[in-house]
Amino acid sequence: MSTRGYGGPVTEPRWLDEKQARAWRGYRRMRALLDLQITRDLAADSGLSDADYDVLSNLSEASPHRLRLTELATTMLWSKSRLSHHLTRMQQRGLVDREECAGDARGSIIVLTGAGLRAIEEAAPHHVASVRRHMIDLLTDEEIAALAALSHRVVAHLTAAP
């Protein structure tokens, strides 16, 4: 029976059991190591950062290779401020460009440049190979299905209105 002085819950917290703790710690460690490795591969193969790749990838999937800044920020789960800063740097490297938005004078349209398109097209095969090598090809079909199912459930939960 525990009593606590700081006004928190009076009941004993539900700690994680052994299996849950293994899953959580494993997830965290995989997340950290996978991030490091994929960032390294991407930089070595293409000279791009994770952030660069995500921006270019999203732009290249848009129909005319251009998106409103806010839309891009929402898709990427980035703040507008962070995206604006990052785009300024990518613009200086010639990977993207800004255009005025017809119909909304406040707006900024982000455009994939030719160099940007070339960069993502050259980077993509290496990146996919890296993702396969360090993760996807290590999993069974059942694990891939389980990962897809559980991650989509967690995403749905976190996306639901608070």
Partner DNA sequence: GATTGCTTGTTGACATGTCACCAAGCTAGC
Partner DNA sequence: GCTAGCTTGGTGACATGTCAACAAGCAATC
Q: Report the interface residues with a second copy, using CB under 8 A.
A: 6, 8-9, 13-16, 19-20, 22-24, 26-27, 29-34, 36-37, 77, 122, 124-126, 128-129, 131-132, 134-136, 138-139, 141-155, 157-159
Q: What would the two tokens of residue 101 be?
A: 């938005």
Burial 123-155 (b: 16+ CB within 10 A, else e): beeebeebeeeeeeeeeeeeeeeeeeeeeeeee
Q: What would the two tokens of residue 82 be?
A: 């962070």
Which CB sits closer to a second copy, 20 or 88? 20
* Nearest-approach distance from CB 55 to a second copy, in angstroms: 14
Q: Which one of residues 70, 121, 148, 155 is an interface residue with DNA (CB under 7 A)? A: 70
Residue 24 binding result from DNA, a second copy, none, given CB thresholds of 5 to 8 Å by partner type: a second copy
Distance CA 120, CA 43 (A): 13
Q: Does the footprint of DNA cover residue 126 (CB under 7 A)? A: no
Site string for DNA, 88-117 (x = CB under 7 A): xx--------x--x-xxxxxx---------
Asked if 110 and 59 count as a contact pair (C-beta separation under 8 A), the reply is yes
Asked if 68 and 108 count as a contact pair (C-beta separation under 8 A), the reply is yes
Residue 80 binding result from a second copy, DNA, none, given CB thresholds of 5 to 8 Å by partner type: DNA
